[in-house]
Chain A
Amino acid sequence: MPDTLLAAHNVSVVYGAGAASATALDDVSALFQPGEVTLLMGASGSGKTTLLSILGCLRTPDRGHVTLLGRNLIGARDSELTALRRAHVGFVFQFFRLFRSLNAVENVSIGIELAGNSRSARRAAEQALDAVGLSSKYNLVPSELSGGERQRVAIARALVKNPEILLADEPTAALDAISGRQVAELIRASAKARGMAAVVATHDSRLIPIADRILEVRDGRLHEERKMS
């Protein structure tokens, strides 16, 4: 496994054009290592979600570039970025983004089925749900689950394909204190156990204890890097 799984090199993103343009990211560089939990912290609109989109190959920067598993993504086609996301990146979203008509197992199976592995998908999904403590909830649809349970299903969906990178956007913002702590611990434990680089965009200070380091994003720039002991 390479020392650096994911890296942003002098990345800039500008929304709009001319007088109406706004700089979302300005010359941002950061490296993300295996087994490391990095918090991107900053106020709303600071650029942390844009950075997460860039790191997750969901959009390309206007300047600079991203390397994923040592591969420079400059000029990568949309289909290549899609394949990279499918194979190497797990996503966790603030509002879970589960498929409302599918039950927990089916929601998690999607992560594997998209990679064309539908035969083993159900078993793998059940194991992933077991790992996040939802053994008894296989057949429940999202509306029958609590917020914390939904987020754990989303984490299971992200982890089921064993990604090298986990990107989470405000994963605890919609959760109560207990669920938030459980989800935070789950992210940290998964990153450590699997050697994943976990990048979490948040302004929830409850997540600070799980971080190995914190990157402060302000006005589109990385202002401060704190290593946690």
Chain B
Amino acid sequence: MFLLIRTDGRSTAAVRAALRERVPELDVLTKAQFAARARTYWTTQTGAGGALLTAALLGFLVGVLIVSQTVYATTLENIEEFATLKALGATRLYIVRIVALQALASAVLGCAAGMLLSLPVMNLARQAISWIYTPWQLAVLLAAGTLILAALASIAAVRAALTVEPGRVFRA
């Protein structure tokens, strides 16, 4: 059973402390504490959190694989150009920079497209469920995650570009 108590201008902390003193066997929570407890309960005790986290991790993994495949395929498609660059004296850092930029371009475009697509869905969800929470920090977190994704995704392509034999430039 829950009881809601209006503090009517009095200090919430003071009211809470007084209540806890009088009825120590009850949980007395502020609005923020109650929200945090509810979030913790739903994310850790019910399986809903696990499902959401698994979905997010799967999404991240699929993202890494797709960007990785795209960048790897692009690198292999241009492997002769990487061999030429190496023959002309490109440093390892120069090669890594090119591949990383390709991965970054893929990730930024993907992230932008993903955000644009999710905006109307978010609006619809907010209309349907009043308490849904979509802070702007979510977009920043998503962008940061995308950068990590791009870095992970470029590892295989960087390896392919770095190990190409420069001597193949003389082959027809």
A positions within 8 Å CB-CB of B: 49, 52-53, 56, 58-59, 79, 82-83, 85-87, 89, 91, 93-95, 97, 99-100, 110-111, 114-115, 157, 169
Contact = CB atoms under 8 A, between A and B. Distances in A.
B85 to A, nearest CB: 8
B170 A53 contact: yes
B89 A53 contact: no
Contact of A86 (B81, B84, B89): B89
Contact of B88 (A59, A94, A111): A111
Given A82-B91, A85-B89, A100-B81, 20 more contacts: A52-B170, A53-B167, A56-B87, A58-B167, A87-B89, A91-B87, A91-B88, A93-B84, A94-B170, A94-B172, A95-B172, A97-B169, A99-B84, A110-B85, A111-B88, A114-B85, A114-B89, A114-B91, A114-B94, A169-B170
Contacts of B166: 58
Interface residues of B, number: 17
Interface in B42-89: 80-81, 84-89
A114 B90 contact: yes
Contact of B89 (A59, A82, A95, A100): A82
Nearest to A102: B81
Chain B interface, >50% SS class: helix
A49 B90 contact: no
Interface of B: 80-81, 84-92, 94, 166-167, 169-170, 172
Contacts of B87: 56, 58, 85, 91
